[in-house]
Amino acid sequence: MRTTTTLFGAFVVIAGAVLLPAGAAQADPAGFTTSSIFLDATVGPDGTRHCNVEADLYVPDEASAANPVPAVLTTHGFGQTKDAQAPTAEFLAARGYVVLAYSGLGFGGTGCKVTIDSPDPDGQAAQDLVSFLGGADGIAFEDAAHTRPVPGLDSVVRDTVAQDGRTLPNDPRVGMVGGSYGGAIQFAAAAVDPRIDAIVPMITWNDLTYSLAPNSAEATVGVSGAIPGATKTSWASIFSAAGVTAPGSAGYRSDPTKLLGCPNFADATCGALVTSYTQGFPDTQAVDFLRSASVASYVDRIHTPTLLIQGAEDTLFNLNEATATFEALQRRGVEVKMIWQQRGHSSGGDASLLAGGTTRPDPDTQYTTARYLDWFEHHLGDSTGDTGPTFAYHQDWVGSDVDSADSYATAEAPEVGTDTVLYLSADGRLVADSGDIRPGARTLSTPAGGVVQGSTPSNIQVAPGPRPETQPAGSFVEWTGAALDAPVDVVGTPTATLRISTPTPVTGNADAVVVFAKLYDVAPDGSATLINGHVAPVRIVDPAASVRITLPAIVHRFDAGHSVRLVVSGSDSNFRGGLVPRDVIVAADAGQQLALPVVDG
């Protein structure tokens, strides 16, 4: 009971720190005016459902019909409202952009329910906001009852051709920026509306089925696969609570339909959550629903130039997700660039880029801020300057600050490192020479009902810090390499090829073998650190075959004297494991190996 209470308290702390409005003081800056408006967005298959959208409009003093300027549309992270976007909106408005910051569907005073950033209705709602920026009347009002109209803007630059080559009405020069939930909406909006000229999605998802129930051994395209993995119970709990409480009492009063059925969520969401909790993985219906709200399923509809920014310290939406989106857009010929910054959901988000942070955006000291400002100036403004390298990645062992330009290295693609192979030996060693392998096998057990054996650190950083790891003997197996003679830098996606078997038959997903692969950095004193809190769940329905496990990508230096450790465990505190208890055998021979993408010094 004590552990459960502590964990629930951690969820509440994180929900308040990461997902809910920060409540920063509103400044009264010079150079632009701010007004609150309400927009009548029409959504649904036939476009007849109305959702009232609350928003703040920031207009630079110099913007007018005679001197039109570009615009930026922005919305918030899950559980927040438009108020969290004030630092970003003020930053951009002070640089001459009209900014429309709004509360997403189901949040704050905006009507309708949370539908997890689907093209319909979330993308459709954003489409109406774009039309308002492009001069359309009949969309914006001074009041929530929509009785006092606000005319469409004439102070935003108009385009003659959309990103898909068509000429469309009310086409403003407009970009989008935002993080997490406010990142995914940009994909949904761009898929629906090619009038959007540039997007900057930060720390967001490619496929929610992978985000919330990853299977690290069955991806067929990007991070998506046919066999679900293991439910992330910690993150799912946070989002369930944040989504239900997001409107507040005022929001529920203004739109009582949010209380019908699944409170404030589309009904399919509750079904997906219940199924995932009870059986440890989403069923086919839940997978279809989650994937429909993911750019992985509609990337072929996006034409808009995209700057992806993803965080290494992110156990919700890891670097693999941004890479999957990057590669999918690149295959289609869409202009796309990507930055791997350090901070993500697990460490509280980025203090300057994510709205509501404690630090104001500053392009002079923050690499990522400078990059997205250059992106907008190039695609929305008159700048013909360079938008930066195709790929940049933060190195936390280099540079003067967490987001200083000197802490980033660049490359043409995220495949930076070259694989260095270590082999699994039955005596628990990771060896560089296959001739040093002691052949055999190692065995672990998985518990009944997907419960946790012992305790593993939370993959979310919460006060007073991660609890110690107390895995009982027999619940995991590990292999540790020799102490390194010199530092080794790993940039990219580690993989492990393992032959995992069990003496009892497996008939399908429900009784599959579920294990968790983890990569550690072991210091000379023997203390081991789980790199960025990352865990790679694996659901195996064919234990006779070898599995190739794709771990979350990392940018990490193993210092001299440190060692690499691979662990395979039968449970993890952040996930729901397999329902059927099993003895699991992991072979150790030349075919069982860990590959690390190492950058040559």
**Equal fold, 11-210+292-411 vs 418-599:** no
> Where is pLDDT greater, at 472 or 28?
472
Q: Which residues of 399-435 are buried (b: 16+ CB within 10 A; e: fewer)?
A: beebbebebbbebeebebbeeeebbbbbeebbbeeee
pLDDT band for 29, please (50, 70, 90 cuts): low
Q: What is the DSSP string of 146-200?
A: S-SEEPPPSSBPBPSS-TTS---SS-B-EEEEEETHHHHHHHHHHHH-TTEEEEE
Residue 172 has pLDDT above 60, yes or no: yes
Question: Which SS3 state, helix, strand or coil, does residue 311 take?
Answer: strand
pLDDT digits (tens, 9 = 90+) for 242-268: 888 888 888 888 888 888 888 998 888
Report residue 493: phi and psi, to 5°.
-110, 110
Q: Are 447 and 581 in contact (CB under 8 A)?
A: yes
**Domain assignments of the chain as residue spans, ordered by start:** 11-210+292-411, 418-599
- The residue with tokens 């998506």 is 224
Mean pLDDT of 328-352: 88
Cα separation, 535 vs 537, in Å, equals 6
pTM: 0.93
Cα separation, 104 vs 125, in Å, equals 9
Residue 27 has pLDDT above 80, yes or no: no
Q: Residue 458: which of 14, 22, 16 has the closest Cα?
A: 14
- The residue with tokens 């895995």 is 471
H/E element, 210 = helix 208-212
Other Cβ atoms within 10 Å of 239 Cβ, number: 23
DSSP E strands in 447-531: the ranges are 476-481, 488-492, 495-501, 513-522, 528-530
Alpha helices in 391-524 (DSSP H): none
Q: Residue 62: which of 27, 99, 97, 100 has the closest Cα?
A: 97
- Can you give the pLDDT at residue 31? 94
Percent share of the chain, pLDDT over 90 = 77
What average pLDDT is seen over the chain?
90
Cα 268 to chain centroid, rounded: 21
Distances (CA, A) of 240 to 251, 262, 265, 347, 498: 17, 11, 9, 20, 35
Residue 8 has pLDDT above 70, yes or no: no
Residue 382 has pLDDT above 90, yes or no: no
Cα separation, 261 vs 287, in Å, equals 20
Q: Are 37 and 109 in contact (CB under 8 A)?
A: no
Q: Residue 445: which of 512, 513, 509, 528 has the closest Cα?
A: 513
State whether the Cα torsion 25-9-458-308 is positive or negative: negative
Cα separation, 524 vs 528, in Å, equals 9
- Can you give the pLDDT at residue 6? 30
Third-level CATH fold of 11-210+292-411: Rossmann fold (3.40.50)
Q: Which residues of 82-117 are buried (b: 16+ CB within 10 A; e: fewer)?
A: bbbbbbbbbbbbbbbbbbbbbbbbbbbbbbbbbbbb
Residue 17 has pLDDT above 60, yes or no: no
- Can you give the pLDDT at residue 545? 86
pLDDT digits (tens, 9 = 90+) for 198-210: 999 999 999 999 9
CA atoms within 13 A on the CB side of 24: 24
Question: Residue type for 55, please?
Answer: A
Residue 373 has pLDDT above 80, yes or no: yes
H/E element, 110 = none
Q: Residue 28: which of 65, 8, 58, 62 has the closest Cα?
A: 58
Q: Which residues of 179-194 are buried (b: 16+ CB within 10 A; e: fewer)?
A: bbbbbbbbbbbbbbbb
- Domain made up of 418-599: CATH architecture: Sandwich (2.60)
CA atoms within 13 A on the CB side of 239: 22
Whether the bond into 464 is cis, omega within 30 of 0: yes
- Can you give the pLDDT at residue 22? 35
pLDDT digits (tens, 9 = 90+) for 391-412: 999 999 998 888 999 999 999 9
Q: Are 590 and 499 in contact (CB under 8 A)?
A: no
- Can you give the pLDDT at residue 563? 98
Question: Residue type for 330, please?
Answer: Q
Question: Residue type for 238, please?
Answer: I
Cα separation, 570 vs 585, in Å, equals 11
